[in-house]
Structure 1
Amino acid sequence: MDKQLFNQGLLEFLSQSTSSFHAVKAMSRRLSDAGFTPFTTGSDLGPGSAGVFYEQAGTLIALLPGSEPLLDSGLRMVGAHTDSPCLMVKPQPEKFDLGYLQLGIEVYGGALLNPWFDRDLSLAGRVSYQNATGSVATALVDFRDPIAVIPSLAIHLDREANKNRSVNAQTQMAPLLSLDTGEFNLRDFLREHLREQGIEVSEVLDYELCFYDTQAPAQIGLHGEFIASARLDNLLSCYTGLQALLAADGSQWSLLICNDHEEVGSRSATGAQGPMLQQFLQAVLKDHAALPLLMQRSMMISADNAHAVHPSYPDKHDERHGPMINGGPVIKVNVSQRYATSSDGAALFRLLARQEGVDVQSFAMRADMACGSTIGPITAVELGVTTLDIGVPTFAMHSIRELAGSDDAWALHRVLGAYFRQAAPLFVKSQ
Structure 2
Amino acid sequence: MDSDVIIELRGVNKSYSLEQRPVRRLIDQLLGRVDRGHQHHALWDVDLRIRRGEVVGLIGRNGAGKSTLLQVVCGVLDPTSGTRRVQGRIAALLELGAGFNPDLSGRENVRLNGPLLGLSLAQIESRMDEIIAFAGIGEYIDQPVRSYSSGMFVRLAFSMATSVDPDILVIDEALSVGDGVFARKSFERIMALKDRGATILFCSHSLFQVEQLCSRALWINNGRVQFDGPSHLAVVEYSAWLARQEQAGPAPTANTTESDSARIEALALRPPADGGGAYRSGVDELCVEMRVQSDPAIACPSLGLVLYTEDGRSIASAGNWLDGHVLQRDASGQIRAQLAFPALPLLKGRYTLSLYVLCDRAINLYAAAEHALSFEVVQDNVQQGIVALPHAWRPFPSS
TM bracket (short chain): under 0.3
Larger radius of gyration: 2
TM normalised by structure 2 equals 0.25
* Structure with the larger RCO, 1 or 2 (CA within 8 Å, 6+ apart): 1
Q: Quick check: which one's helix share is greater?
A: 1
TM-score (norm 1): 0.24
More strand by share: 2
